[in-house]
A and B are shown apart, each in its own frame.
Chain A
Amino acid sequence: MLLIRCPWCGLREQAEFSCGGEAHIVRPLKPDELTDEQWADYLFMRDNTKGWQTEQWVHSGGCRRWFNAQRDTVTYKFGISYKHTDPKPEDGD
């Protein structure tokens, strides 16, 4: 069973969670000044990392809070989970 650590509730099974894609993508402050290409880049383009990446997750079956987690996209191993207000940590082990 794959367990994911919610920063509030602790370790819970993966079925309680939903993934919200890559984390730390900042919405442009002035969207109306962007070119179509820059806007499309913000909306659609992702790193598609092989290895450790930070992702947004929501504990939908529990406390219903969003948080960020490190996950290895090759092994599915989870690293650190942290609140979405915390800074991005170093890559996992």
Chain B
Amino acid sequence: MSASGTDPALPLEIHDLTVAYHKKPVLYGIDLEIPAGKLVGVVGPNGAGKSTLIKAIMGLLPASSGWVKVFGKPYRESCHRVGYVPQRESVDWDFPVSVMDVVLMGRYGRLRLAQRPTRHDREIARECLEKVRMLPFANRQIGNLSGGQQQRVFLARALAQESDLYLMDEPFVGVDAATETAIITLLRELQSRGKTLIVVHHDLSSVREYFDMLVLLNMRLVAAGPTREIFTQEILQATYGGRLTILSDVAQAIGEGG
């Protein structure tokens, strides 16, 4: 642990973070450091506070105690270096905007008040759509897309943010196999360019394959570290408690990876 707590090279540092919903704590005393260039999976049972952790990092939910530093500064001062992929169901897909409009929103953080996206912004948005192979859909209304296509649009929007740290909330939920492969390929490419990615994930069977670091969460931080060290039966049992159906999944996941 860095003693000063303000290491500017550290993408994310969390100290004693507690978050409550309606006065009921959902995250207790989280201490966490994420080094640069990692592809990190945030894993835990339903209600473990995975999304809450992501939102609390960005200040979307108020912390009851503790602090978060992003690249050594409070979030607000570093927000232009953070890209966010919210859960797909968090927005209304009947909204009257095109795919291009949504991706351009990723550029808004770089624009001044009342400033319109420039030609350069549109160029970048087009490149990002190309990367997720959604460029032919640029002028489609977003409601006419499949779940996987919608997720790719969200990913393209995050790419357009040109960030150093990406926070992604369940990007693999409800997508087809082709999209899942496309997303993980893209995440690895971002990682190879030195970006740090923190991804909420629920499918234990793919954890070992996808992530090189894990954060195991169940209201408290159960463990954080390299996947091969902490993705063990013992720690998963501590994370998921005595939930038998999940434990059999765990056994299978470990068996496959083993």
Instruction: Please indicate whether A and B come from the same complex rather than being unrelated chains.
Output: no
